[in-house]
Structure 1
Amino acid sequence: MTVDTVVREFEADLVVRKAEQVADGVVALTLGRPGGGTLPGWTPGAHIDLILDDDFTRQYSLCGHTGDTDAWRVAVLHAPDSRGGSTRVHQLGEGSTVRARGPRNHFPVVSSKRYLFVGGGIGITPLLAMIYEVDAAGADWELHYGGRQRRSMAFADELARFGDRVHLVPEDELGRLDLAAILRPRAGTLVYACGPEGLLSAVEQLCAPWPPGSLHLERFSARATEPEPGGDSSFEVVLQHSGRTVTVPPDRSIFETVRAAGVSVLGSCLEGICGTCETEVVDGEVDHRDSVLDEDERAAGEVMMICVSRCRGARLTLAL
């Protein structure tokens, strides 16, 4: 079968230069090219894939300095009850090799004079890179960072340099973040939040009265979506560049169907949270089911995540 190719992202084997515990259960890995040299540039909010096996890939936010052109840093919480990605990462030590792909960014920092960062647990990772960036730019900002215990809060020592801009809230000492007080609407301020689903849902609710476009957040797990009335149905997808039309059955995704037709498309999480499979929509109405696009991007209908999203009508045309 002939396979149509797509432009690939940077992908290479990197070596672990440093592995350090930055909190209870959290390891930070600094990755670089085995022989030295620069890595692709990135912007705060970006993440990379760590390819831990042929069919086992996980996404982790970059949490270093964008100026470190020869190294990428990620921090990973060991979650023994998860699907095994964090366990494998925690087995990597200095000198280990791991395949990495990316970076890509669906959580970029928009220019503003003031920022309000809200982090929960390992959700501090993308926010840390943002803080370095906006602080260097002279913006006004503050961080409210919650965790179960002080010793489980990654990068607490690193954040101490910023003084009273940083508010650490260990739950066993101070209770949970007082989101109602933190998220009182403020003019000219952007909110960036990352953490567990309960935190993000509360932040979304409390930011509803804020001006449109104020809230930016990133999820580490797929949010619940309401299925279309009557359940999923089949539909056609026209592959504009490949000159083919495929039928997506009710029990398969666009991603699976397109791959089965011999068209190579990039994918990673297959849960609608990493953005790897983002595809341009040429025509048709999308049933968005991802956890990447915001409401304005969904309404625009210009792109979709083909691993989970579907068609609201009978046909979609995609730039594949």
Structure 2
Amino acid sequence: MEVIEPGPVALARALTQAQLKRGGGGGGGVVLFDGQRDGVGIVEIREGRVTRARRVFGALEDAAAVLRDNGSAPGTIYLTPWNEDRVRMLAAVLPEVIARPLPTVTDIVGPFLPAYGAALAIGGRPNFARTLVPPELGGRIRVRWRRELGLAVAAAAAAVVFAFASADAWRARVTRGLEASLQSLQQRAAPALALQNQLQTLAREAQAIQQSERERPDPLGVLLALSKQLPAGAYLRGIRWSGSDWQIDGYAPNASRLVAQLGAAPEFKEVRFRSATTRAAVGDRTYENFSLAFRYAPAP
């Protein structure tokens, strides 16, 4: 048990949501708790606070007489529990007073309003000075609250530490699992990777062979092209090549015309003399000795 508070205090808390009427004004009222053999409780409430509470050991008319004699009889009195016979008895003593039952608050009827008011205080820190809790018990309750708060803070901190530790452990497990899976995949993929490397090596070799085939000169093709371009009376006595660079030596009636004719052909590039020409008479004809260089690029 945390707190023990008087019933009138709990009732006043519940009635803050209801408008109590008091003799020509608002904001308060007088409540009579008819305990019959246990006496009558008189509670005065103003602006949601208990201003006076007492018990009259006697009948309901005795409590009414006390209110009349003290001059504190209001215009409206709230009676609980409600009983028509006892209301008539109250009216005989205080004829100017209007008797009403306790109002209903959020569907809670009058007899249960003190319990409802006590429930409204759950979760809050009570003012022990307004309760029935002795100072020593109040001190122990405060110490327990502080201890529970400290334990809650410690538990929250431990939960945070545990969460971080769990996250680190989970990441470590996942990392180890991924590394093991990667190693297994690498082992299973090793034969395929080796075969892929072999295929890549063979592809590079095939590409190199194709490139070499494309760059390798074709002497027969060059000779055929030269035979088509050489003018009548021209003869070759030597031919050499290195890659696409070619050199020819021979005789022709007009070496300059031969250079111009070869240069006009699209497959012969950079046709030029390697040395000066010399003239020689062969029979009744004169020939020029030539040495030419060019680059051969066959048409696609």
Rg comparison, structure with higher value: 2
TM-score (norm 1): 0.19
TM-score (norm 2): 0.20
**Structure richer in strand, relative to its length:** 1
Structure with the larger RCO, 1 or 2 (CA within 8 Å, 6+ apart): 1
